[in-house]
Structure 1
Amino acid sequence: MERRSFVRSAGLAGVLAAGVAPAVHAQATIRWRLSSAFPKALDTIYGAADTFAKSISDMSGGKFQISVHPNGELVGGFNQVDALQNGTVEMSHTAPYYYFGKDPTFALGCAIPFGLNSRQMSAWMVEGNGLKLMREFYANYNIINFVGGNTGAQMGGWWRKEIKSLADIKGLKFRTGGFSGVIFNRLGGVAQSIPGGEIYQALEKGTIDAAEWVGPYDDEKLGFNKVAPFYGYPGFWEGGPQLDFYINTKAYNALPAEYKAMIEAASLEAATVMQARYDARNPAALKKLVAGGTKLFRFPKDMLDAAFKESMATYAELSDKNPAWKKIYGDYANFRRDSNLWFRFAEAGFDDFMQQQKL
């Protein structure tokens, strides 16, 4: 069916009111397994999969059951695409840029340095060409994708010392990955790829000098403030990272039309709830961190300028040698240009004034 048509005409409440539930009662019970790329302890990001599975069960009258499995229980966090391709699981909840090593184009479905913010990303995916273009790309991997949430703009990580100029980056070991690692290396740093569960120990022991994850709510849970006192911002490499629900194409095509419609509706609900939770919980967590001694600092302008320059050069180089990247990034970049023009006057103008007020 045409994307958005089901949700627009019915909405989540309308799914039941329109008679979908009675229709699916005649269907045989279907059971899927969903592998999350995230640990269960991170209730915001992992919780999107739970929200999705519950909505599917409710809308189907219990006939479509999806069990959710945390990172490592069925599939490792960075192995979701392989597991989907070979049919180990029917679906996954993951961050597309985790598969940057297979093809940098994956990152365009999630976040790239100096890319789209969360609202712009949603607009490109749902109303622009994003979903269409990414699905064409994912078809090569036997995957169809649906929006799976967004953290909003992320923080710039935890540092053992404050970064005051671009020169301070030289030689620093920074836990990050994907495009941010590429750009950090081009700035003279040393990017380190370390699983989330090993970051704390690496920081504590001094094996790395800094590490990034998401933002205050998740970072406090992981305890990074206990081993690195400086908290940088903004996370320019993740202005609006989108997660996806990846589904094995064969499994998806075998579903009846009603269940496909439910997947679309449930994914949009889960995406909305996930970002709302981050936006609601991050402020209190940041206050608590600062009250506990965390020192906030803004990345210096010469570092941001250099990172921007290296990012644009990287994208141009990829466009010269990667046809998939060139096709999708061209559309993405045009959307970013036009969207930033609009946000500059409306959103940014309003935010700039409001954030200077004493409320």
Structure 2
Amino acid sequence: MDRRHVLAGAAASAVLAAPALSQGLVRWRMATTWPKSLDTLYGSAEALCRRVTQLSEGKFTIQCFAGGEIVPALQSFDAVQTGSVECSHILSSNFLGKDINFAFDGGLPFGLNMRQQTAWVHEGGGLNLLRDLYKKYNCVNFLAGNVGVQMGGFFRREIRTVEDLSGLKMRIGGFGGRILAKFGGVPQVLAASDIYSALERGTIDATEWVGPYDDEKLGFHRIARFYYSPGWWEGSAAITAIANTAAWESLSDVNKALFETACNEQNTLMMAKYDARNPDALRRIVGAGTQLRIFPRPMMEAMYRSSFEEFETLASQNADFKKLYEAWLPFLDNSNAWFRVAEYTLDSFRLTSRIPGR
């Protein structure tokens, strides 16, 4: 065989070997709904992606994008549904216009706290019910974080009675907007990057986002002087990673396990980051002149009654809501009964008692 045949054979072998070298490599994109400035939410999505790469030794990588980089923030769900991107990182409560039942995933007013939501999803049958829901939208869902109980938001004026909500234009996501509207409020859904300018221009009178650490970064305290608590519209706000069904089904069992493991890890670590950073952020916000307020109890009671009345109404009109509600409500009731025995009893004592010597 002459030299030309040897070189030709080597070249052919190299061409044939190239696909083999790429076999088993998976490249995904994650379109998040968060700006990069939020190292809790966007940072958690980035950490999830890095963890998948690490655990797979580079064989499964996910490139993370901030809201607006490849898809507008509030179109990220649609992008996964259509297969434009493989996955996203969302608060499903922002997509109730697509399906009101996503509230059982993101969080309902006066509903499950972070621990209860995790328990309902993983041990109370919630995951299978939510998977059935997301399947209708060509997606597979994974619990991937939680921000805990949120603050009630920044307001330009004080809220003393339920009547003060009439005409109030408020950026509020999720189910809470439906309840606010019943009392004359005007709910607005805005991406994080659009809230500050809307508040500054007076397009909205109030806004909620998450809590002190994120809210300080977004600068709301520089415009609105009253900071209210609690964010009653979600017992906790669960963060969801969604994957396109076809993309998910194309993964090996090992890669599926890696993705789920990374999601479960972030469900713990996101909450840890918020709990560690919110206290100091709240002190800084109040130190800068913000006035901390608690929503009046009569208003909270009115919101509570209205929320459960709305649940019952929707259950009578929406078969999917009824199915989810009839599974969720007994779990809430049973879990609350247990939390009152130990958690609440100890917390109500220790949180109202001064540490000796402090």
The alignment's TM-score, normalised by the length of structure 1, stands at: 0.91
- Structure 1 residue matching 2:239: 3-state secondary structure: strand
The residue that corresponds to 1:92 in the other structure is 88
The residue that corresponds to 2:190 in the other structure is 194
| Whole-angstrom distance in 2 between the partners of 1:119 and 1:59 | 26
What are the within-5 Å matches in structure 2 for residues 91-110 of structure 1?
91-110=87-106
**Structure 1 position 36 matched with structure 2 position 45:** no
How far apart are residue 196 of structure 1 and its match?
Answer: 2.1
Aligned partner letter, 2:317: K
How far apart are residue 293 of structure 1 and its match?
Answer: 1.0
| Whole-angstrom distance in 2 between the partners of 1:85 and 1:193 | 21
| Whole-angstrom distance in 2 between the partners of 1:79 and 1:205 | 25
The residue that corresponds to 2:321 in the other structure is 325
**Structure 1 position 123 matched with structure 2 position 119:** yes
The residue that corresponds to 1:10 in the other structure is none
Pick from 64, 68, 81 the counterpart of residue 68 of structure 1.
Answer: 64
| Whole-angstrom distance in 2 between the partners of 1:256 and 1:206 | 51
| Whole-angstrom distance in 2 between the partners of 1:253 and 1:170 | 48
Checking the alignment, whether the CA contact within 8 Å between 2:74 and 2:191 is kept in structure 1 is no
1:61-107 Cα shifts (integer Å, max 9, x gaps): 11111100110111122212211121101111111112101110011
Checking the alignment, whether the CA contact within 8 Å between 2:94 and 2:189 is kept in structure 1 is no
How far apart are residue 171 of structure 1 and its match?
Answer: 1.8
| Whole-angstrom distance in 2 between the partners of 1:193 and 1:139 | 25
The residue that corresponds to 1:305 in the other structure is 301
Checking the alignment, whether the CA contact within 8 Å between 2:166 and 2:184 is kept in structure 1 is yes
| Whole-angstrom distance in 1 between the partners of 2:183 and 2:90 | 28
What are the within-5 Å matches in structure 2 for residues 203-352 of structure 1?
203-352=199-348
- Structure 2 residue matching 1:174: 3-state secondary structure: strand
Range with greater deviation from structure 2 (203-212 or 36-45): 203-212
What are the within-5 Å matches in structure 2 for residues 73-84 of structure 1?
73-84=69-80
Pick from 139, 142, 145 the counterpart of residue 146 of structure 1.
Answer: 142
| Whole-angstrom distance in 2 between the partners of 1:283 and 1:190 | 31
What are the within-5 Å matches in structure 2 for residues 156-171 of structure 1?
156-171=152-167
- Structure 1 residue matching 2:175: 3-state secondary structure: helix
How far apart are residue 205 of structure 1 and its match?
Answer: 2.5
- Structure 2 residue matching 1:152: 3-state secondary structure: coil
Aligned partner letter, 2:282: L
| Whole-angstrom distance in 1 between the partners of 2:274 and 2:183 | 30
How far apart are residue 26 of structure 1 and its match?
Answer: 10
| Whole-angstrom distance in 2 between the partners of 1:245 and 1:193 | 20
- Structure 2 residue matching 1:78: 3-state secondary structure: helix
Superposition RMSD in Å: 1.4
| Whole-angstrom distance in 2 between the partners of 1:205 and 1:28 | 51
State the aligned residue count.
Answer: 335
1:130-188 Cα shifts (integer Å, max 9, x gaps): 11100011111111111110000000000111211212222222111331111001022
Aligned partner letter, 2:77: V
Range with greater deviation from structure 2 (170-179 or 30-39): 170-179
Checking the alignment, whether the CA contact within 8 Å between 2:33 and 2:67 is kept in structure 1 is yes
The residue that corresponds to 1:16 in the other structure is none
How far apart are residue 216 of structure 1 and its match?
Answer: 0.2
Aligned partner letter, 1:213: W
Checking the alignment, whether the CA contact within 8 Å between 1:319 and 1:326 is kept in structure 2 is yes
Aligned partner letter, 1:204: E
Query: How many percent of aligned residue pairs carry the same amino acid?
Result: 45
Checking the alignment, whether the CA contact within 8 Å between 1:150 and 1:240 is kept in structure 2 is yes
The residue that corresponds to 2:176 in the other structure is 180
* Structure 1: runs of 5+ lacking an equivalent: 1-24
Which aligned runs of 4 or more in structure 1 are off by greater than 4 angstroms? Answer: none
| Whole-angstrom distance in 1 between the partners of 2:188 and 2:57 | 46
- Structure 2 residue matching 1:243: 3-state secondary structure: strand
